[in-house]
Structure 1
Amino acid sequence: MSLFDDDFYSTRVSRRIRSTGRDASFSKRGIGIRWTPVRVAVASSMVSALAAVLVFGLFTGFDRSEGSVSAVAGVTNVGLSNDPLEKTISAAAKMRPAVVSIINEQAQPESDGNDSAGTDGGDGSPELQQAALGSGFIFEKVKGKAHIITNNHVIEDAVAVKAVLSNGETRNARVVGTDAITDLAVLEIDADGIDAVAEFGESEGLRAGQWVMAIGNPLGLSDSLTMGIVSKTKRIIPVSLSQDGNYDWEQEVIQIDASINQGNSGGPLIDLDGNVVGINSMKIAEYGVEGVGFAIPSHIAMPIVQSLLEYGKVKRPYLGVYTMDLGLYMAQQAAAAQGHGDDDGSAGGADQEQSTEEGSQSGDGAAVGGEDEGVMMPQGDLKLPDDVKQGVIVLQAVGPAEEAGLAFNDVIVKLDNVSISSTMELRKYLYGKKTIGDEIEVTFYRDGKKQTTTFKLAEKTEE
């Protein structure tokens, strides 16, 4: 995209010259200079040189002093210098002091013998070792504390968390709050000596093709920069929250082609003004795939961050069911029937037992599904009408759902007259359309009969 209007490049002939049919030759009258061919050539050379200087000055800027230049048609403003080539340097210099490396420390595993290798031999506390590396950035200082944004998966299962500042200093960090759904976390460190704080840009104003930069700690190489473009401003990708291969959430992200490697997670994605427009979160790491990275848009991340600062968690409505997608269950049943149709059914039972880990998802998104040993798998004939092929099977009802009468083997097909075909849709409807304390109508099948029940959504409490 040009920094200039198209008319700057116009080759149109002046209307005044075009309208006269007279000879445009020089007049000798009143001028004591004879325009010989040599003098004409010299004058033409001087005019050409002057024109070249003028054009070069318009492109590069005559004034090289510090200042700010507003670009045309939404192009990022130039800070500190009028030279567009300096934009990446000034943007990186603005952001880098606020970027930190995150160290996730966990207890060492026990040795093969009876003696525990997880103690330090002093006070009996477990000896910690580095389990994961990631990135983060300081976004505010409040009452002597500096707050850091990073990814939840960067600090997951950590016994202790440390933040390494841009000057190499390591400080202990306290986890303020985490949210597995959006993969965000907020940390807190002592703010003494910290001056740099990140500024946020307008992620909603990003455009495909816009230049962006990723800063972080890839592969342990702290203070590392990569650059690329926005491949797509809004990409919806499925996410498996329990990492079991079943997608139970969808995340809106910015797709970029800037290199994102292990350790970049949690670091800032910045525009050429040095403002944060996203939090680097993930990449496609399959063989033969290059330049497909993703960042959480800042306008989506900040409400989550504010909730983590205020409550230590994100308050969401709670239905209270552990579920399994009906489509997944029916596919498993069909595969079992086809592969073991002549058997006595014991193999089919084994398949169902195995699917406890595969299909027991995180309920309505508020319950911790799949990890509770008390969650059972669907049993027997669900007795559904032939036209019912999508919905979610209740594996266990707790809290509000249990109080409302929902039970094992019920098949939920609608919430407030909105069809629900999967756990992902159930969770998206709850989090996107409902709030804590709202009433919800649940339509479900039990023993082949359609029923409805209405109750209030509660707030999820820690288990």
Structure 2
Amino acid sequence: MSYFSDDDKRENLSENSEPEKSPLQERLEQDEQERKSTRLKKRSGGKGGYFFSGLVGVIIGALLVWLMMPSLVNQMPGTTTKSSSDNKPEINQVATEVTTDVIKAVDKASAAVVGITNIQEVTNGGFWSQPTTTTQEAGSGSGVVYKIDGDKAFIVTNNHVIEGAKQLEVTMQDGTKEAAQLVGSDVWTDLAVISISSKNVKTVATFGNSDVLKQGETVIAIGNPLGLEFYGSVTTGVVSGKDRSVPVDLNGDGSVDWQQEVLQTDAAINPGNSGGALVNLAGELVGINSMKIAQSSVEGLGFSIPINSAIPIITELEKTGEMKRPTMGISLADVTDVPAFYQQQTLRLPEEVTTGVVITDVIANSPAAKAGAKQFDVIVEMDGEKIETSIDLRKHLYNEKKTGDSLTMKVYRQGKLVELKLTLTNSDTL
């Protein structure tokens, strides 16, 4: 066994051999070797990793460029941007011009229908101040231009449209207004004729034939309901009934003075339509709109004066300014309105006679009285024409006869047929 000093030991180690390593140093060197080995492996495989990462980057960049291309193109000169609204579904719109028989009829007749304004005098003040008289609009209605004669155009309307007027004003389809003059009126048939300058009149109505109308036939009402703000309104309906008889109170005393002969229609007729046109599908004037039943429980019940009944009145008013009717001097009632008991016991009609007109009263010194007519005679025939109702009688008397004409009629008197002859006189003479 040898003993060395510390210096000897160091010298010996440096000259002859590697210094002896402690276990700790060996462990540290081993760890360092392993770390170096790991770094070398990573470096040897790094080329592939870097290649893969680069490839992914290229792909992502290409995608970004592709996505950005539309925006870049739209920003280049000469390009347009397509808005997102262009991608919305388009709405298909078809413009089809529809023409019906109603449209054709309205085109033909509507320009002949005018508005009529009734202007009346009104007195204001009094008692404390001096009364003053002014004029103001009292109402409005409709009318139909039916004739041009030289510098005048003639218009038919209702009597109640022009009644009490101090001035009359007519409004044409184009808005032109004309002063109008009253030609004549007839309270019994509710018809009137007025005239205006023909300067601005371009259309006149064509008269049709109301006798050939059929129940259920389409008709069109043209007028100005509720005033001129609804000028030229059109409503459609059908002929609901023919030869209707509507009771009319002419003087407002609550008693029926007249049975107005009318056409019934469900075409809407409202205040302001009065005097307007009722036309068929040919655009022909077949009636003058006159009235409606205004009750909460009633709907679509309007009335029009048949043009065949109106024409003789229009013609007479145009010529003389008034309606001079021939008269027989009797009061009338329809047999159908008489209870069956009185038909048998009082009138003593044969069973086969179910229609006719009962004479309820005879005016003294009248044509009927002079011809020998008696109360409760039942008229069944006039000049060879069958008479079933008072409307039939008035049609024959007013449409086919005039003052001074003779008339032959057959009546049932207490069950026997009697023939009477009379000469008609003016109603003003009774």
- TM-score between both structures, scaled by the size of structure 1: 0.54
Matched, 1:413 2:376: yes
Aligned 8 A contact 2:359 2:378 in 1:
no
Aligned 8 A contact 2:367 2:425 in 1:
yes
Q: Deviations over 1:379-428 (max 9, x none)?
A: xxxxxxx947975456x7588789x699xxx98434879899x9989867
- Once the two structures are TM-superposed, the CA of residue 264 in structure 1 deviates from its matched residue by 0.1
Runs of 4 or more consecutive aligned structure 1 residues displaced over 6 Å after TM superposition: 398-402, 415-420, 422-429, 440-443
2:80 maps to: none
Question: In structure 2, do the counterparts of structure 1 residues 116 and 136 end up closer, same or farther at CA, with 3 Å as the change threshold?
Answer: farther
Matched, 1:132 2:146: no
1:224 maps to: 232
Match of 2:306 among 278, 297, 302: 297
Matched, 1:168 2:178: no
Q: Where in structure 2 are the equivalents of 1:74-223 lying within 5 Å?
A: 85-109=99-123, 111=125, 113=127, 117=131, 119-120=132-133, 127-220=134-227, 221-223=229-231
- Once the two structures are TM-superposed, the CA of residue 224 in structure 1 deviates from its matched residue by 3.4
- Once the two structures are TM-superposed, the CA of residue 312 in structure 1 deviates from its matched residue by 2.1
Q: Deviations over 1:48-67 (max 9, x none)?
A: xxxxxxxxxxxxxxxxxxxx
- 2:395 & 2:280 partners in 1: Cα distance? 30
Q: Which runs of 5+ in 1 are unaligned?
A: 1-80, 121-126, 328-385, 444-452
2:424 maps to: 457
- 1:178 & 1:152 partners in 2: Cα distance? 6
Aligned 8 A contact 2:221 2:235 in 1:
yes
2:259 maps to: 249
Question: In structure 2, do the counterparts of structure 1 residues 268 and 401 end up closer, same or farther at CA, with 3 Å as the change threshold?
Answer: same
- 1:178 & 1:210 partners in 2: Cα distance? 30
Aligned 8 A contact 1:211 1:227 in 2:
no
Question: In structure 2, do the counterparts of structure 1 residues 138 and 116 end up closer, same or farther at CA, with 3 Å as the change threshold?
Answer: farther
Question: In structure 2, do the counterparts of structure 1 residues 257 and 441 end up closer, same or farther at CA, with 3 Å as the change threshold?
Answer: closer
Aligned 8 A contact 1:137 1:149 in 2:
yes
- 2:391 & 2:284 partners in 1: Cα distance? 33
Task: Mark the structure with the bigger radius of gyration.
Answer: 2
- 1:415 & 1:106 partners in 2: Cα distance? 46
Question: In structure 2, do the counterparts of structure 1 residues 111 and 415 end up closer, same or farther at CA, with 3 Å as the change threshold?
Answer: farther
SS of equivalent residue, structure 2 residue 109: helix
- 1:193 & 1:148 partners in 2: Cα distance? 14
1:75 maps to: none
- Once the two structures are TM-superposed, the CA of residue 142 in structure 1 deviates from its matched residue by 0.6
- 1:432 & 1:270 partners in 2: Cα distance? 22
Question: In structure 2, do the counterparts of structure 1 residues 116 and 202 end up closer, same or farther at CA, with 3 Å as the change threshold?
Answer: farther
Question: In structure 2, do the counterparts of structure 1 residues 398 and 162 end up closer, same or farther at CA, with 3 Å as the change threshold?
Answer: farther
- More displaced stretch, 156-165 vs 225-234: 225-234
Question: In structure 2, do the counterparts of structure 1 residues 460 and 198 end up closer, same or farther at CA, with 3 Å as the change threshold?
Answer: same
- 1:462 & 1:192 partners in 2: Cα distance? 41
SS of equivalent residue, structure 2 residue 175: coil
Match of 2:403 among 436, 443, 455: 436
- 2:257 & 2:148 partners in 1: Cα distance? 37
Q: Deviations over 1:54-109 (max 9, x none)?
A: xxxxxxxxxxxxxxxxxxxxxxxxxxx9x764443343333232221111222214
- 1:441 & 1:398 partners in 2: Cα distance? 18
Q: Deviations over 1:188-225 (max 9, x none)?
A: 00111221222233433433333332111110134232
Aligned 8 A contact 1:144 1:191 in 2:
yes
Question: In structure 2, do the counterparts of structure 1 residues 112 and 203 end up closer, same or farther at CA, with 3 Å as the change threshold?
Answer: same
- 1:418 & 1:88 partners in 2: Cα distance? 40
- Once the two structures are TM-superposed, the CA of residue 175 in structure 1 deviates from its matched residue by 1.3
1:315 maps to: 324
SS of equivalent residue, structure 1 residue 218: coil
Q: Deviations over 1:125-145 (max 9, x none)?
A: xx2222221100211211110
- Once the two structures are TM-superposed, the CA of residue 302 in structure 1 deviates from its matched residue by 2.1
The sequence identity of aligned pairs, in percent, is 35
Aligned 8 A contact 1:134 1:262 in 2:
yes
Aligned 8 A contact 1:315 1:459 in 2:
yes
2:46 maps to: none
Aligned 8 A contact 2:246 2:262 in 1:
no
Question: In structure 2, do the counterparts of structure 1 residues 111 and 397 end up closer, same or farther at CA, with 3 Å as the change threshold?
Answer: farther
Aligned 8 A contact 1:238 1:247 in 2:
no
Q: Where in structure 2 are the equivalents of 1:270-281 lying within 5 Å?
A: 270-281=279-290
1:225 maps to a residue whose letter is S
Match of 1:283 among 288, 292, 299: 292
Aligned 8 A contact 2:309 2:395 in 1:
no
SS of equivalent residue, structure 1 residue 260: coil
More helix by share: 2
Aligned 8 A contact 1:101 1:222 in 2:
no
- 2:407 & 2:280 partners in 1: Cα distance? 42
SS of equivalent residue, structure 2 residue 376: strand
2:259 maps to a residue whose letter is W
- More displaced stretch, 86-95 vs 259-268: 86-95
